[in-house]
Amino acid sequence: MTQETETLDALGLLCPLPVLKARKRLKSMPAGSVLRLLADDPAAVVDVPHFCAESGHELVAQQDMSDHQVYLIRKSA
Protein backbone atom coordinates (compact mmCIF):
# COMPACT_ATOMS: atom_id res chain seq x y z
CA MET A 1 0.00 0.00 0.00
CA THR A 2 2.93 2.33 0.64
CA GLN A 3 4.08 3.88 -2.61
CA GLU A 4 7.31 5.34 -1.27
CA THR A 5 8.92 6.56 1.90
CA GLU A 6 10.80 9.83 2.23
CA THR A 7 12.64 10.94 5.34
CA LEU A 8 12.48 14.46 6.72
CA ASP A 9 15.12 15.23 9.34
CA ALA A 10 13.68 17.93 11.59
CA LEU A 11 16.09 17.26 14.47
CA GLY A 12 17.07 20.46 16.25
CA LEU A 13 14.06 22.40 14.96
CA LEU A 14 11.55 23.84 17.40
CA CYS A 15 7.78 24.25 17.14
CA PRO A 16 6.24 24.90 14.68
CA LEU A 17 9.03 24.11 12.19
CA PRO A 18 8.81 20.28 12.21
CA VAL A 19 5.11 20.40 11.29
CA LEU A 20 5.56 23.23 8.76
CA LYS A 21 8.36 21.35 7.01
CA ALA A 22 6.31 18.13 7.06
CA ARG A 23 3.35 19.95 5.49
CA LYS A 24 5.56 21.36 2.74
CA ARG A 25 7.19 17.98 2.00
CA LEU A 26 3.84 16.15 1.96
CA LYS A 27 2.49 18.60 -0.65
CA SER A 28 5.11 17.41 -3.13
CA MET A 29 4.51 13.70 -2.46
CA PRO A 30 1.93 11.51 -4.21
CA ALA A 31 -1.19 10.40 -2.31
CA GLY A 32 -0.63 7.21 -0.33
CA SER A 33 3.10 7.74 0.09
CA VAL A 34 4.67 7.80 3.54
CA LEU A 35 6.81 10.49 5.13
CA ARG A 36 9.19 9.48 7.92
CA LEU A 37 9.59 12.53 10.17
CA LEU A 38 12.44 12.69 12.69
CA ALA A 39 11.95 15.27 15.45
CA ASP A 40 13.34 16.02 18.88
CA ASP A 41 11.14 18.99 19.77
CA PRO A 42 9.16 18.07 22.92
CA ALA A 43 6.06 19.75 21.45
CA ALA A 44 6.12 17.42 18.43
CA VAL A 45 4.43 14.63 20.41
CA VAL A 46 1.32 16.85 20.49
CA ASP A 47 1.81 18.85 17.28
CA VAL A 48 2.34 15.99 14.80
CA PRO A 49 -0.77 13.95 15.75
CA HIS A 50 -2.82 17.17 15.81
CA PHE A 51 -1.49 18.17 12.36
CA CYS A 52 -2.43 14.75 10.96
CA ALA A 53 -5.93 14.88 12.44
CA GLU A 54 -6.54 18.39 11.12
CA SER A 55 -5.08 17.82 7.65
CA GLY A 56 -6.55 14.36 7.04
CA HIS A 57 -3.21 12.57 6.78
CA GLU A 58 -2.84 9.24 8.58
CA LEU A 59 -0.38 8.94 11.46
CA VAL A 60 0.69 5.36 10.76
CA ALA A 61 3.19 5.07 13.62
CA GLN A 62 4.87 7.08 16.34
CA GLN A 63 7.98 5.77 18.05
CA ASP A 64 10.13 7.18 20.84
CA MET A 65 13.84 6.67 20.37
CA SER A 66 16.45 7.52 23.00
CA ASP A 67 16.91 11.13 21.86
CA HIS A 68 14.14 11.77 19.30
CA GLN A 69 10.79 10.62 17.94
CA VAL A 70 10.00 8.98 14.61
CA TYR A 71 6.61 9.61 12.96
CA LEU A 72 5.30 7.81 9.88
CA ILE A 73 2.69 9.90 8.08
CA ARG A 74 0.72 8.58 5.09
CA LYS A 75 -0.42 11.35 2.76
CA SER A 76 -4.14 11.51 2.14
CA ALA A 77 -5.63 11.81 -1.33
Which listed residue (1, 13, 15, 30) is catalytic?
15
Q: In whole angstroms, how far apart are CA 60 and each of 6, 12, 13, 14?
A: 14, 23, 22, 22
8-state DSSP, 56? T
Our answer to whether residue 52 is catalytic in this structure is: no
Strands (DSSP E) contained in the chain are 5-10, 34-39, 58-64, 69-74
Catalytic residue numbers? 15
